[in-house]
Structure 1
């Protein structure tokens, strides 16, 4: 990551934004694979997709991490709530298919 103060023109700035976006997508893809693994572990343990206490823990972590990084914690909390809801829907879809297959 380059220091924004070192970016002297819009071309350089846009290039850094694009590179950062690629990095974010790579991290999100990794997180999605972790969610896929969570489905496997939850299935084996008989756990539901939504575990409310964990949802709140993840959002609180995102808020705290944002504050430490100098990012608006409200923005971070909102983004993470959306990300967690997407993840839960992904888990529910797989868990539902697995439950139907075992019935």
Structure 2
């Protein structure tokens, strides 16, 4: 859902929207984590290690481009995704490597 911050006329309304967006972000992060769990199941059969530097670079490039398209600071997006990526790799390494 798209939210226009200009539609908020009070800080209470704005904060409520931010809280709703935070909930949606957590939902998406949980869905991403579930996909990482599936990767743990698939990677060994395909001979793919937990850390694939070419994939890391591809994900970072994609996220930076998406951020630029949405007028989000690409450096912020990259920093956040590097945290996600490293968490994901550690999660995979416990099983794969």
Same fold (TM over 0.5): yes
Higher relative contact order (CA 8 A, sep 6+): 2
Q: Displacement of 1:95 after TM fit?
A: 1.8
Q: Displacement of 1:43 after TM fit?
A: 1.5
> TM-score when scaled to structure 2?
0.95
> TM-score when scaled to structure 1?
0.90
**Count of residues paired in the alignment:** 96
- The alignment's C-alpha RMSD in Å is 0.9
- Structure having the larger proportion of residues in helix: 1
User: Residue in 2 aligned with 1:15?
Assistant: 16
Structure 1 counterpart SS, 2:65? helix
Structure 2: distance between partners of 1:2 and 1:12? 12
Q: Displacement of 1:47 after TM fit?
A: 1.6
Q: Displacement of 1:39 after TM fit?
A: 0.8
Larger Rg: 1
Unpaired segments of 5 or more residues in structure 2? none
